[in-house]
Amino acid sequence: MNKSKGEIKKQDYKHDPHDNIHCHELGETHETCISLVPIFNHLEKEQMDEIMAVTYSVSYKKGENIYCAGDKADSLYIVSKGKIKIYRLSESGKEQLLRILHPGDFTGELALFSETVHEEYAEAMEETNVCTIKNSELQEILLKYPSISLKVLAEFSSRLEQSEKQATLFATEKVETRIALFLVECMDNEKQSMEVVLPMNKKDMASYLGTTPETISRKLADLEEAGYIKQISNKKIKILNLDGLLSV
């Protein structure tokens, strides 16, 4: 696997830990970053400092890979700015979008505890900053502060829940239902508003829902025809009949 540009940058950084600009960035980024993460936000200042001491800050340009499938998984990555998409390539080479990370989310934990390689790709969707913690350093912290482990466990279990739900959805529901449920899911993020703003373009949405852009397009048209939704613009959809949508 090729090293991504981001990877190279990180190494450069580590070669010169006293680089002024980076050090400045580092301090700033870390504070925002660490305090954002739900896993750490119950900690005392002292413990925070300890964690900050073992983290590095790295930034990536749009399209750069944070890591690729096949790369050694030895760090936890916490997003402090920007968006990262996590995707997989299936046996047959099709891309499937797994999730999109926003500031405060983290990734790389999958293989963190079982010394292995990544099976997925992480790509910056825009100018993005991440804080990284080495596998080994994190383990020490977890052993020292067991309460963090519980937080991580909680996060894992909810992700596992989510993932199994997703798998069941793919296995048992047809595309139209998956789209309808996706819209509903996007909606309740946005409170009571009946207007959904799609968090990604239709191509990514297709990949996320395990279908094709053509089918997304057609099914949305069908849902509109049935009077359940109204497509306002490319990424805006108004829900006209929630019950109808759920009964698809």
Partner DNA sequence: CGACGCTTTGACTATACTCAACCCGTGTGG
Partner DNA sequence: CCACACGGGTTGAGTATAGTCAAAGCGTCG
Among 16, 31, 119, 214, interactor with a second copy by CB under 8 A: 119
Residue 136 contact partner, candidates DNA, a second copy, none, CB within 5 to 8 A by sort of partner:
none
- Of 44 and 91, which CB lies nearer to DNA in the complex structure? 91
* Residues in 163-182 at the binding interface with a second copy, rule: CB under 8 A: 163-173, 177, 181
Q: Which of 104, 109, 8 is nearest to 58 (CA)?
A: 8
Closest CA to 56 of 39, 78, 73, 36: 78
Whether the CB-CB separation of 90 and 119 falls below 8 Å is answered with no
- The answer to whether 181 touches 191, Cβ cutoff 8 Å, is no
- Sheet strands (E) in 21-126: 55-60, 65-67, 75-81, 84-89, 95-101, 106-107, 121-124
Joined tokens for residue 101: 């990370």
Toward a second copy, which CB reaches closer, 119 or 214? 119
Per-residue binding string, DNA, 127-166, x by CB under 7 A, is ----------------------------------------
Per CB under 8 A, 100 contacts a second copy = no
Rounded to the nearest 10 degrees, the angle between the axes of helix 146-172 and helix 175-189 is 140
What Rg value do the Cα atoms of the chain yield, rounded? 20
**Could you say which of 202, 230, 242, 244 contacts DNA (CB under 7 A)?**
202
Q: Is 112 within 8 Å of 73 (Cβ atoms)?
A: yes
Residue 222 phi/psi, 5-degree rounding, is -60, -45
231 interface partner picked from DNA, a second copy, none, CB below 5 to 8 A per type: DNA
Residue 142 interacting partner from a second copy, DNA, none (CB closer than 5 to 8 Å by kind): a second copy
Smaller CB separation from a second copy, 26 or 229: 229
Nearer to DNA, 118 or 219 (CB): 219
- In the complex, the smallest distance separating the C-beta of residue 174 from DNA, rounded to whole angstroms, is 3
Interface residue with a second copy, options 11, 41, 157, 201 (CB under 8 A): 157
Residue 75 token pair: 């760090």
Length of the chain: 248
Q: Total number of residues binding a second copy (CB under 8 A)? A: 47
Please state at what angle helix 202-209 crosses helix 213-225, rounded to 10 degrees.
100
Distance CA 164, CA 128 (A): 29
Query: Interface residues with a second copy (CB under 8 A)?
Result: 88, 90-92, 94, 96, 98, 109-114, 119-120, 139, 142-144, 146-147, 149-150, 152-154, 156-161, 163-173, 177, 181, 209-210
Query: Interface residues with DNA (CB under 7 A)?
Result: 174-176, 201-203, 210-221, 231, 234
